[in-house]
Amino acid sequence: MAAKQQFSKTIELMPMLKTVEQMSRISGIGENKLRELLDKGEIEYVQNGNRRLMADSAIWDWY
């Protein structure tokens, strides 16, 4: 039972799609630079309202 609770906490901490702010912390690229790359179409993203969400694979593909 404890393992199941720990697993669910891990999922909450690591979303599949990340915001610009979250991806900036993970990748080390500044938020403004990430937004610029998204505007140019160099990094794939999903639009959800006003938020642009990126998968980990999108940023690593760009690298």
Q: Is 45 helix (H, G, I), strand (E, B) or coil?
A: coil
Task: Return the pLDDT at 47.
Answer: 95
* pLDDT tens sequence across 1-53: 556 666 555 555 778 899 999 999 988 999 999 999 999 999 999 999 999 99
Q: Is 53 helix (H, G, I), strand (E, B) or coil?
A: strand
The residue among 14, 15, 48, 19 whose CA lies nearest residue 35 is 19
Task: Return the pLDDT at 59.
Answer: 87
> Is the separation of the CB atoms in 53 and 46 below 8 Å?
yes
Domains located in the chain, CATH noted: 15-62 (3.90.105)
Task: Return the pLDDT at 35.
Answer: 95
